[in-house]
Structure formats: C-alpha cells, structure tokens
Chain A
C-alpha cells in the first residue's frame, strides 16, 4: 500500500495540485501554515497515489511512501 504525505509547511497555496488532481482528492480548508499560506490537505479515501500532484507542485510538498497494512 502507498500513502500520500503532505509537507504542509512548504505549501504556498498556488492550487496547481487541486486543479490537476484527477480524483478531486485535494482541498484547502483554510488552516494556515507558519509561512502564512492556507495549505493543502488530502482526502485519502479518494487518492489513488498517482503522483500527479507531486509533479505539478513547485514547492515539493508531496511525497508518496510505502505504508504498512
């Protein structure tokens, strides 16, 4: 099993990931990180760990890791 990890402190709220996620799994709730940006969160139920958000993010927020089942 794989899991999407979000390094929220790096997010600058550009929304490229939200726009490009084919599953509509990403959203911004409004919570703000230390830099002052409302950061991205994921709905793990919808995410297929396709990696598109990793590719389009200019700020290296996403990581896909192996997860213990």
Chain B
C-alpha cells in the first residue's frame, strides 16, 4: 500500500515527542485531501498547543480567541456556506473558557465540524487541571490529585450533547493502528455530514500529552487504554444521515 504524508501537512511540526496532535493534524489533512476539499476548507484554531497547528498545516486557518473557535467557525460558515469549516481545539479551550460557545454551537445545530482534542489537561500552559482531568489525576493545580468533591466530575461533554438535535457525534482514540483508523473514519463522517448540511458534527479524540503527564509516550498510550477510555467511552453517539441544518 503506497503511503505519503498529505501535502497539507509540513514536516517538523512543533509538538513534543509522542504528542497526539501530530497524528490528528495528519488525519484531518488526509480526510480533507481525500475528499478533494483541503484547498477550500477553513479552520478556526484554538489557543493552546492547537495553535501550533497552522505553522505546519497548509489549510486556511483563523486564530480564534481562547475558547471562541466554535463561535468563529459558526460565523464563517454562515457567511460562506460553500466552505467546509472546522474548529481544532483542546479540552481547556473548548470545555473550560469556551464551554458556552461549544455547547451553544451544538444547541443551535450549527453546520460546522468540531475537532476536539482531549488530553485531560491544559497542555501549553504547563499541565493545569482541565474539566476533563480524571479523578485523582495529578496536575500542576491538583498536586495531590483531582478531588471531585471540590471540582465536580470529569466532564463528559458528549453525554451532554448526545440528546440535542445534532448531526454526528463520535469519540475516538489514538492508542493503536485500529483506533487511529477508526478515528479517521469518524472525522470523514463528520465532514461528510457537514457537506450534506446535516448540522453540527463533533469528534472528540483521546490524545496523550506526554510532556505534562511526565510519561514515556508508550506509557502514555497505555494510560489512555487503561484509565482514560473507561471514563470516556469510544464510539459513535449520534449519526443522523439526513439534511437537518
């Protein structure tokens, strides 16, 4: 099977060794390229390590303010419904400061695709607790482990979204070849849903933050298999398949 990185991905991405962002960037580029739409797509890119993406990604991108990527994407899509519009966001961005923008884009069933990277902490700023941080997980702001009596349960946003009127919602991971291929399929389904005007599509991807987890990359993937996936179940949660937006 011939393989070559997509033209939209440049080498020397700025991520740490073993970071999942590099794989996810490539999957998005592969899908857009295979659909023949990468030159006419627009990304609204979050702050955090997501903001390193446009440096090595040859798709038109707008840098959104912290948390606002879904609102920015909705604005672009409403002005240019002919474009394929997506966000690329971390969990701190999409679910902490940007929770309202993310949820209201889903509630309004905006015809955009949200690529949501769940690495269970604020990566770029040094590994602080995010809404997705697991119970007892040590971060720089929860040095004794996250105490859910004080901070609430880890936020499973798909549980909050799946009963809304949306087009496509799925959660994938990157822990092995099979999971990476499934995640790619979910991303493809999401972009196809947008092209068919089915409405809001949301792909959550469980991803390692090797640096802030202070884990060897292989151990980080094992941690996702063993400890993260049981909390954030993988699979397709909403699949509409008809015009809706």
Contacts and interface: CB of A to CB of B under 8 A. Distances in A.
Interface residues of B, number: 28
A16 B217 contact: yes
Interface in A43-63: 49-52, 54-60, 62-63
B180 A14 contact: no
B177 A64 contact: no
Interface in B162-218: 174, 176-177, 180-181, 210, 217-218
B18 A58 contact: yes
Contacts of B5: 60, 63
A59 B22 CA distance: 6
B11 interface: yes
B50 to A, nearest CB: 15
Size band of the interface chain A makes with B: 20 to 34
Interface string B63-96: 0000000000000000000000000000000000
A13 B9 CA distance: 19
Given A7-B11, A15-B218, A51-B3, A60 B176 contact: no
B131 interface: no
Most chain-B Cβ atoms within 10 A of its Cβ — which of A16, A49, A51, A66?
A16
Contact of B18 (A2, A10, A12, A20): A12
Interface string B29-63: 00000000000000000000000000000000000
A49 B1 CA distance: 7
Interface string B15-34: 11111111100100000000
Interface of A: 2, 7, 9-10, 12-16, 19-20, 37, 49-52, 54-60, 62-66
